Amino acid sequence: MKEICWNDCIINNSSISIKLDTSKVRSLIDTVKGRNLFLNKNSITEEDVNYIFEGYYSSVLELLHAILLLDGFKVNNHICVGFYVRDVMEEQKMFRIFDDCRYKRNSLIYYGKKLKFEVAKNAVEKCKWLIKELEVIIKEKIN
C-alpha cells in the first residue's frame, strides 16, 4: 500500500518507534554544520548549482531525521518524512516547500534531469529557509 499520510507510514512500517539516540542526533547536526560551511564557501554558478542544491537538500533531510529521532521515530523514505512534517508537526508551509524540493531532487537523482539555473537557485534558497526553521525547532526540542 502506498502511503498518503503519517498513519499509513506507521501501518506500513515505513516509520518505526525507536529509543532516543542523542549521539546520533548530535552527529547529524554536526554533519549538517560541516556540510553547510563547505557549501556556503562556494559561489553558485550554472555548472554547480545542481550539486549545491543536492547538498543543501541533504542537510534539510538530516535535520528532519534529527527531529524524528528526538521524537522517537526512524523513517525509511522521504515521503514519510514529509508526512511527519505535515501531519504531526502540522507545518503546512514547511511541508509544501520540503515536498517541492524532494520532487526536484528526485528528478535530478533518479531521472538525471538537471534543474534550470534559476529553478535550482530558488530551490537552494528554499532549502536554506528550511534549514533555519528546522534549526530553531531542534533547539527548542533539545532545551
Query: Which cell is 25 given?
Result: 542526533
Beta pairing partners, 15:
75
Output the pTM of the full model. 0.97
In this predicted structure, what is the pLDDT of residue 139?
Answer: 97
As its CATH architecture, domain 18-142 has: Up-down Bundle (1.20)
In this predicted structure, what is the pLDDT of residue 143?
Answer: 84
Identity (one letter) of the amino acid at 33?
K
DSSP three-state, residue 74: strand
Q: For residue 75, is pLDDT > 90? A: yes
